[in-house]
Amino acid sequence: MIELPSDALAQVKAQARYLPLKESEHLNTHASTGEVLIFCVVGKLDAKVHDHHHVLEPNQLLHVPAGCPFRVEAQMDSVVLVTSLTAKTSSHSGRKINISATAHRDDEVQEALEETFPASDPPSYNSTIS
């Protein structure tokens, strides 16, 4: 999960490309300055990130961290949606935001999933009025 700051829409530039690929066609190796999401719409893709191969089938998504080289090849006639998220430079400070920043939100969600609440304990708002 990529957690973006609350004002991320104003600070992140998203660029999406919808690309039909014939069998054996490929996107040349590329390293983006921002995060990249590779989504297989139709077909079957071989996505290589660094030296790891990932097979993507319809409705599967692969996240490529900023700066990681990646290459996509169609194993059959396919359609891929490639979305790049790059940080805009702030006009005030000249600094870039880190769109990969992860607070401890995942830990909070996992902790909440681990908690159990007995079904026999009614919520306190269910008291009777006399």
Task: Output the pLDDT for position 7.
Answer: 58
3-state secondary structure of 74: strand
Task: Output the pLDDT for position 101.
Answer: 43
Tokens of 87: 């940080």
Task: Output the pLDDT for position 88.
Answer: 75
Query: Which domains, and CATH codes, for the chain?
Result: 9-87 (2.60.120.10)
DSSP state string for 45-60? EEEEETTEEEEE-TTE
Rounded mean pLDDT for each run of 10 residues along the chain, 130 residues in total: 58 89 95 93 96 95 94 97 83 48 45 50 50
Task: Output the pLDDT for position 99.
Answer: 44
Task: Output the pLDDT for position 19.
Answer: 95
